[in-house]
Chain A
Amino acid sequence: DGGITQSPKYLFRKEGQNVTLSCEQNLNHDAMYWYRQDPGQGLRLIYYSQIVNDFQKGDIAEGYSVSREKKESFPLTVTSAQKNPTAFYLCASRETGYGEQYFGPGTRLTVT
């Protein structure tokens, strides 16, 4: 079955540690996105990538980093510089052109 996988589902870290969230897709989509969702709020864009080896900052990129070495994979690193990292993180990919956007199941990160 084609889709987007995110792992792990729940992640716990101590303050000051970097953590990497995994996102893999087998939909053969060029574009991939990372969003952050806080309780009662809409989705905010962290980073997005239109093609392998290229990515752009979204609206809240500070304290985050990404890589896009393979078409299928778009990992997100939450660094210790992110002031309030506890949130629900969602990865998505988009069909070629102006096509449909598909989401993974999300990773809930808790930093204490």
Chain B
Amino acid sequence: KQEVTQIPAALSVPEGENLVLNCSFTDSAIYNLQWFRQDPGKGLTSLLLIQSSQREQTSGRLNASLDKSSGRSTLYIAASQPGDSATYLCAALGGTYKYIFGTGTRLKVLA
């Protein structure tokens, strides 16, 4: 059974820092891995989608990588800003077209 873990559970950094969020999954047979952002009381906003055949995707200050063999994905945020404060979730799409979500990393960027 697929399990997705995100470390750390919470992170507090000063503005301007580059940071890395981690996502681990136990079953490498995934179709894709998607990173989301969730603000308090809101739905999820898609940030980046990496297909299983890809190694990384970039959007602005965000870069996500995928290493299926080691069961890991990382989300890199460059030059963090207070507006980046949110919970970041990763989700892996498996063979039954079900997504398995991690429990998220709660990020706070201090001005």
Interface residues of A (CB under 8 A from B): 6, 31, 33, 35, 40-45, 48, 50, 56, 58, 88, 90, 92, 94, 98-106, 108
Interface residue count on the B side (C-beta < 8 Å): 25
Q: Enumerate 16 A-B pairs (CB-CB under 8 Å) in ascending A order.
A: A40-B103, A42-B4, A42-B103, A43-B44, A43-B101, A44-B101, A88-B41, A90-B44, A92-B44, A98-B52, A103-B43, A103-B45, A104-B43, A105-B42, A105-B43, A106-B42
Question: Could you say which residues of chain A place their CB within 8 Å of the CB of B91?
Answer: 43, 101
A108 CB to nearest chain B CB (Å): 8
Contact flags (1/0) for B23-58 with A, using CB distance below 8 Å? 000000001101010000111111001011000000
Complex-state Cα separation, A106 to B40, whole angstroms = 11
Inter-chain contact B101/A101, CB cutoff 8 Å: no
